[in-house]
Amino acid sequence: MVKIKNFILNVKAEMLKVSWPSKDELLNSTSVIIVATLLLGTFVGLIDLLYTFMMGIIIR
């Protein structure tokens, strides 16, 4: 039980040392990730459509 208590105290101490991002930094980073994911997903989807179209032409 003492080990668990020490572990929890150590975790709490480490969490206080962490440099957490501000709300603005967090929202900005999240926006960048969402936009990048959407762009990459669109690109991959378009490439997939192109390959599907090309394979349809080749197979005929």
Q: How high is the mean pLDDT in each 10-residue block of the chain (60 residues)?
A: 95 95 97 99 98 94
pTM over 0.85: no
Burial class (CB in 10 A: 0-12, 13-18, 19+), 32: exposed
Residue 18: its pLDDT value, please? 95
DSSP state of 55: H
Residue 17: its pLDDT value, please? 95
CA–CA separation, 3 and 45 (whole Å): 51
Look up residue 45 and give its two tokens.
């989807």
Look up residue 58 and give its two tokens.
């080749």
Residue 13: its pLDDT value, please? 96
CA–CA separation, 31 and 37 (whole Å): 10
